[in-house]
Amino acid sequence: MLDFLRHTPKNFTLSEADRARQPEVPENLWVKCTRCKELSYVKEFENSLKVCQKCGYHARLSAAERLQWLLDEGSFAEIAGDIEPGDPLAFVSEGQGYRDKLEEAQAKTGMKEAVVAGTGAIESLPLTVAVVDFGFMGGSMGAVYGEKISRAVETAIETHTPLLTVSAAGGARMQEGMFSLMQMAKTTAALVQLGEAHLPYFSLLTDPCFGGVTAS
């Protein structure tokens, strides 16, 4: 190879036939760390659970990734998966309707709402879990979000299992106005019932967590 380089003319170029025979390099082979900007091979990055091997930075996880890496394989069963947000105020901002924005978020994440709830197990120990995906409108809380948390609490009480919530949220969803603000009281009241049932509640705060939803 060195001899080849040494004797190759400086103006050497590949012919069209040679270019056609060159192996194609697949896209999305590398990922850049948000903190140190170093490149990592995607497979290695995913195998390390999205932790940068150069600086130790933990990248954000989607709800699907969180469930996959947190729960025992095949143990997750979704609850309240058939409900999705409406548009009670016919909200429009900068020419875009709330319904259109929801459809964009649903297509982007594959989720109907910012939170997914269900039952599962960790090392064969059963639990009820609710995980938020920040990629869905910043993990904001709307009416269906609050309903799913409430149903997760009800399931935990019915099955007598602990409840784990994994939060990554910005706040109440302004497009639903008062309907979204009511969810703070609704979810808090539901968690009080969990306490009265003497069942454990674990709240895992992940990047990022802000404001009202965290307080609730």
Q: Give the whole-angstrom CA distance, residue 216 versus residue 195.
A: 15
Q: Residue 74 is encoded by which pair of tokens?
A: 């095949």
Domain shared by 131 and 203, yes or no: yes
* pLDDT tens, position by position, 184-207: 899 999 999 999 999 999 999 998
* pLDDT tens, position by position, 64-75: 999 999 999 999
Domain shared by 7 and 88, yes or no: no
Domain shared by 138 and 81, yes or no: yes
**Structural domain count, the chain:** 2
115-122 and 201-205 beta bridge pairing: unpaired
Contact between 114 and 145 (Cβ < 8 Å): yes
Return the CATH number at 130: 3.90.226.10
pLDDT number for residue 171: 86
Helix (H, G, I), strand (E, B) or coil at 4: helix
- Cβ contacts of 184 within 8 Å, gap of 6 or more: 141, 146, 172, 212, 213, 215, 216
Q: Which residues of 68-105 are buried (b: 16+ CB within 10 A; e: fewer)?
A: eebbeeebbeebbeeeebeeeeebeeeeeebeebbeeb
Positions in the chain short of pLDDT 50: 1-14, 19, 22, 25
Domain shared by 140 and 42, yes or no: no
Domain shared by 74 and 108, yes or no: yes
**Full domain range(s) for residue 18:** 1-59
Q: Residue 187 is encoded by which pair of tokens?
A: 């979810």
pLDDT number for residue 209: 87
Q: Give the whole-angstrom CA distance, residue 175 versus residue 107.
A: 19
pLDDT number for residue 94: 87
Domain shared by 22 and 116, yes or no: no
